[in-house]
């Protein structure tokens, strides 16, 4: 994906994301690129500076990577990591044998599928949990 800085004929600046330079040109020619402020379809690319990482050792994060990092931080800050005990803990909470709380951990696909079939509310995370030592 390419992020372009755009400007309409009324002088409004805004950004747009496109699959490629050709995709931008095709979309614009079809009249489907419009100013987010006034709706004008007379839009041109403006000068842009490349995105530069703040630290040479850490590459700049794209929107997806930043969203995943934020999600991981939310999950880790607001739930307990139970590791390989996830299936047992989730089932115990569902059956009322353990107090309900937010947890995350690891499970085999067939075990997770069985939890779902049994009505236990679980969802996969789009990242592998960090291993936590005792």
Q: Over the stretch 104-114, which tens digit does the pLDDT of each residue have?
A: 999 999 999 99
User: CB–CB of 4/16 below 8 Å?
Assistant: yes
Count of CA atoms in the C-beta half-sphere (13 A) of 69: 7
* 7: phi then psi, degrees, rounded to nearest 5: -145, 135
Band (132; pLDDT cuts 50, 70, 90): low
Q: Where are the domains of the chain?
A: 2-45, 63-117
Q: How many angstroms separate the CA atoms of 112 and 75, rounded? A: 18
Question: 130 vs 49, 57, 73, 75, 107, CA distance in Å?
Answer: 35, 21, 11, 11, 14
* Predicted TM-score of the model (pTM): 0.53
Q: Which residue has the higher pLDDT, 103 or 128?
A: 103
**According to the model, what pLDDT value does residue 115 have?**
93
Q: Over the stretch 20-70, which tens digit does the pLDDT of each residue have?
A: 888 889 999 988 999 889 999 999 998 776 665 555 566 677 888 888 888
Q: Which residue has the higher pLDDT, 21 or 134?
A: 21
């Amino acid at each position: 994906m390419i992020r372009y800085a755009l400007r309409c004929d009324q002088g409004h600046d805004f950004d747009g994301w496109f699959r490629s330079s050709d995709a931008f040109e095709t979309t614009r020619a079809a009249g489907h690129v419009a100013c987010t402020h006034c709706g004008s379809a007379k839009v041109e690319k403006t000068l842009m500076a490349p995105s530069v990482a703040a630290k040479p050792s850490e590459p700049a994060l794209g929107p997806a990577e930043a969203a995943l990092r934020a999600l991981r931080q939310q999950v880790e800050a607001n739930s307990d990591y139970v590791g390989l005990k996830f299936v047992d803990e989730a089932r115990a909470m569902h059956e009322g044998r353990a107090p309900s709380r937010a947890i995350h951990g690891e499970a085999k696909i067939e075990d997770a599928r069985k939890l779902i079939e049994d009505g236990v509310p679980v969802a996969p995370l789009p990242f592998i949990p960090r291993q936590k030592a005792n």
